[in-house]
Amino acid sequence: MFDFLKSRPGDTKGIRGELLQFIKDQLQKAEGGEGKNIRGIYLYITCKPEEKHLYEGAIYADEENRFKEEEVQKIADDFAIDLPSTWTMQISFVDEAPPEAIKAQVVDAALFISTKKKPKIHATSTAYIRVLNGEAEKPVYTITSTSGKINIGRERKAQTAEGFYRENQIAFIDASKHESNRSVSREHAHIQWDTEASAFYIFADEGGIPPHNKMKVRTEGGTPVKFQTTQIGHRLQEGDQIVLGESAVLEFRTSDVDK
């Protein structure tokens, strides 16, 4: 309870120790200390530029996976946190951590732990996606909680960077002369129904996060949320505006809209 009295560490070893303590505390809270449902750990470092070299040393930035395998895995083993063999860890230096991430008190870092939970059955829900700016195949799309993954991007059948094809259910026209379409990626985002939260969530895909492109959501009367990872979604609320690339805009509504 006296963590707020701690002084900030000024060396690599001290920073590493505080980062590991912070990660341990959050791992023990996740899933009630049970790690089998943890699939990803995302560490965001928000330090000042002049301190970056200290944090890079703390996480062994020059040695891929060492921090994950030697330090974080050891914590899991020592405290009986049974992480699955497929768990992943991503460390990013960012100006600002995603709002869903938990911020550390002593060091400049935040943590998000991704888990998978047993789905629950809920009644079917319907929402509407209106195209406010840009040219898509339809002016309004109807989505439901039984629609599955709803891809958003440029072109109906789009080839990804890996050479595979994906179908965009909400498709901006590739041959359109509308300027807003140019900055919409072929694999920009997707919407999914979350049965635990009984809500639609939107996630950025690889083409919708830096350095490829950008994406943000603004809730009515709220501050825009910028997406920096494909793992953390945003819970869509009535009137949310979704900006893809530079100026293509979608609007989320749960009430019927004019077609």
What Rg, from alpha-carbon coordinates, does the chain have? 20
Pair 39, 156 in one domain: no
SS3 53: helix
Instruction: Find out whether 97 and 46 touch, Cβ atoms under 8 Å.
Output: yes
Residue among 203, 204, 206, 183 nearest 194 (CA): 203
Residues 141, 220, single domain; the answer is yes
Blockwise average pLDDT, block size 10, the chain, 259 residues? 60 95 88 70 93 96 93 91 87 86 93 71 80 96 93 91 88 94 94 87 92 87 84 91 94 77
Residue 13 inside a domain? The answer is: yes
Say if residues 218 and 224 touch (Cβ distance below 8 Å).
yes
Neighbour tally for 58: CB within 10 Å: 25
CATH number, domain at 235? Answer: 2.60.200.20
Q: Which residue has the tokens 């939107």?
A: 202
| Dihedral, 41, 99, 6, 19 alpha carbons, nearest 10 | 20
Q: Residue 259: its pLDDT value, please?
A: 47
Instruction: Region of 234 please: left (phi>0), alpha (psi -120 to 50) or beta.
Output: beta
pTM listed for this prediction: 0.59
Query: Which candidate, 257, 221, 255, 259, places its Cα nearest to that of 241?
Result: 221
**Domain membership flag for residue 120:** no
Structural domain that includes position 167: 126-253
Which residue, 158, 188, 168, 169, is CA-closest to 248? 188
Pairing of strands 241-244, 215-218: antiparallel
| Residue 46 structure tokens | 């928000």
Do 132 and 111 share a domain, yes or no? no
Pair 97, 183 in one domain: no
Within a domain: 199: yes
Q: How many domains, in total, are found in the chain?
A: 2
Q: What residues pair up with 2 in beta bridges, in sequence order?
A: none
Which residue type is seen at 232?
I
Which of 72, 95, 115 is a domain's end point? Answer: 115
* 83 lies in some domain: yes
Specify if 259 maps to a domain. Answer: no
Distance of alpha carbon 192 from alpha carbon 236, whole angstroms: 10
Contacts 24+ apart (CB under 8 A), 62-65: 65/89
Domain assignment of residue 121, yes or no: no
What would the pLDDT profile of 31-82 be if each residue is shown by its tens digit?
555 567 888 899 999 999 999 999 999 999 999 899 999 999 999 898 888 8
